[in-house]
Structure 1
Amino acid sequence: MPTPSRHDRILALLERSGELSVEALAEHLGMSRETVRRDLTRLDAAGRLRRFHGGARALAVLPPVAEQEWPFAQRVAQNAAAKKLIAAAATRLFRPEDSIFIDTGSTTIAFAEALVAVPALVTITNAPRIAATLASNHSHKVFLIGGAYGADAGESLGPLALEQIGKFRARHAVLTIGAIDPTCVMDFDLQEAEIAKAMIERADQVTVLADHSKFDRRAVFEVAGLGRIDTLVTDRQPSDAMVKAIASAGIELIIAGS
């Protein structure tokens, strides 16, 4: 079957069903799962559907509230090129002498690697990996938040971490998220959401880093309404509904690489 015809059939099937697994699409099309995965990757890159692990959904379908996300090591590898683009674009927002909260996430790890080149920053983070990365520039002043250790993402969490965040006041908070819809940004983990909220409360400006897979999704724990976000850096143009909501909230939208 020619590639354009397969793509049209995939989109038609998703329009009828909302979302389908790779296995179901392969059965409907009479194609191998590997071919379907390649087609989904191309269609997602073209902005014609939303791919997720194991399948895809039509753009118009809002997924149900999710209970969890993939393990951190797997998230680091997902959309790695997009995260590097986002990190490079976000780094240009900051200047020497800025003070920045940075939470733990696969995108903020990429951000920290890019941020090393900016001299004389004051950074506060709950991620040992981010702290070590930034400390490699000896002009940086780095504060590592302590607390209960979350082994999956390698981060400090819990009441001790929240108490320590309350001792700082920063010009910026740079955060990753689990999901964003037209009303708010969200996370899948309660303790991580609490860390992000605490940083937001102690920062003057909030920048969210989110690759395209986070849009038009929902997670269990709300972090902040869109109105609390000042800048949003992503790798692709969001859906029309999201662009309208972002503009209405007064958020500066930066598309990395555009």
Structure 2
Amino acid sequence: MQPSSRFEEIIALLAHSGEMTVEALADRLNVSRETVRRDLARLDTDGRLRRFHGGAKTIAVPAAVMENEWPFAQRMAQNAMAKKAIAAAAAPLFEPDDSLFIDTGSTTIAFAEALASSQALVTITNSPRIAATLAAGHSHKVFLIGGAYGVDAGESLGPLALEQIGKFRARHAVLTIGAIDQASVMDFDVQEAEVAKAMIERADRVTVLADHSKFDRRAVFEVAPLARIDTLVTDLAPTESMARAIAAAGIELIVASA
């Protein structure tokens, strides 16, 4: 494959997925990782993509474009190192005996793993996996929300879950999201968005955990306006326009070190 054709294939792959690792691109293109790194460097210089350590992403997704979300098993594998870095940066934000809502997501699962060895917390979650992870530490008090079981992400959803969330009051809601633009944070699933909104309503402070691939995207269902978010933890600094919107909303932005 000629370099020019390879460049276009890389751009097409990123347009579909949003971002890919060097290893994934090398496998898809049947070339060496070093070739992919050189191609990404060239395309980054040309302003056609944004390169980051270990991969690349599209420059931005137009705000009017509605995107679909990958199945949960694939999301668990995407940006795994970034999610671990975010989790490690977020875990120390909470004090012993704090109460936390934690919703279901690949990043919040990483957060629960980072939180498991911390001092005692009270956690309320709709994720059996997160509940089991935290309960294994024996110091945490864990409440598992019930409801209709969502098979893809392994979570409790629906009216029963929302009713049970309403019986709690927590100091913090720690949430993962599907997309964030300069106005709001969003999700791709209406029931997941409802759970997140219910947790926000019953929490004093809101912390969002989102890797860089979520920035400058739009999903169908709004979870909250930016002004309702207190802290945002991510792995790479957002674009200048996104950073200005975050600052204007009064959000504390924490960029995790890899």
TM-score (norm 1): 0.83
Corresponding residue for 1:249? 249
Q: Cα offset for 1:108?
A: 0.2
Report SS of the residue matched to 1:21.
Answer: helix
In structure 2, the CA distance between the partners of 1:231 and 1:43, relative to structure 1 (3 Å rule), is farther
Question: 2:61–2:217: 8 Å Cα contact kept in structure 1?
Answer: no
Q: Cα offset for 1:120?
A: 1.2
Corresponding residue for 1:21? 12
Residues 1:64 and 2:60 aligned together: no
In structure 2, the CA distance between the partners of 1:223 and 1:34, relative to structure 1 (3 Å rule), is farther
| d(CA) in 2 for partners of 1:23, 1:232 | 25
Corresponding residue for 1:77? 77
In structure 2, the CA distance between the partners of 1:113 and 1:43, relative to structure 1 (3 Å rule), is farther
Structure 1 residues 36-67: Cα deviation after superposition (integer angstroms, max 9, x where no partner): 8656766899997258xxx963347446112x
Structure 2 unaligned residues grouped into runs of 5+: 16-27
Q: Cα offset for 1:137?
A: 1.3
Over 6 Å off, 4+ runs: 40-48
Corresponding residue for 1:29? none
Corresponding residue for 1:107? 107
| d(CA) in 2 for partners of 1:44, 1:184 | 30
In structure 2, the CA distance between the partners of 1:210 and 1:41, relative to structure 1 (3 Å rule), is farther
Q: Indicate the RMSD between aligned Cα atoms, in angstroms.
A: 3.1
Residues 1:33 and 2:29 aligned together: yes
Q: Cα offset for 1:117?
A: 1.5
Structure 1 residues 149-203: Cα deviation after superposition (integer angstroms, max 9, x where no partner): 0000000000000000000000000000000000000000000000000000000
Question: 1:102–1:123: 8 Å Cα contact kept in structure 2?
Answer: yes
Corresponding residue for 1:221? 221
Sequence identity percentage? 69
Equivalent position amino acid for 1:159 in 2: P
| d(CA) in 1 for partners of 2:100, 2:187 | 20
| d(CA) in 2 for partners of 1:44, 1:149 | 44
Structure 1 residues 65-97: Cα deviation after superposition (integer angstroms, max 9, x where no partner): 12x311101100000000000000000101110
Structure 1 unaligned residues grouped into runs of 5+: 25-31
Question: 2:83–2:211: 8 Å Cα contact kept in structure 1?
Answer: yes
| d(CA) in 2 for partners of 1:103, 1:180 | 17
In structure 2, the CA distance between the partners of 1:236 and 1:160, relative to structure 1 (3 Å rule), is same
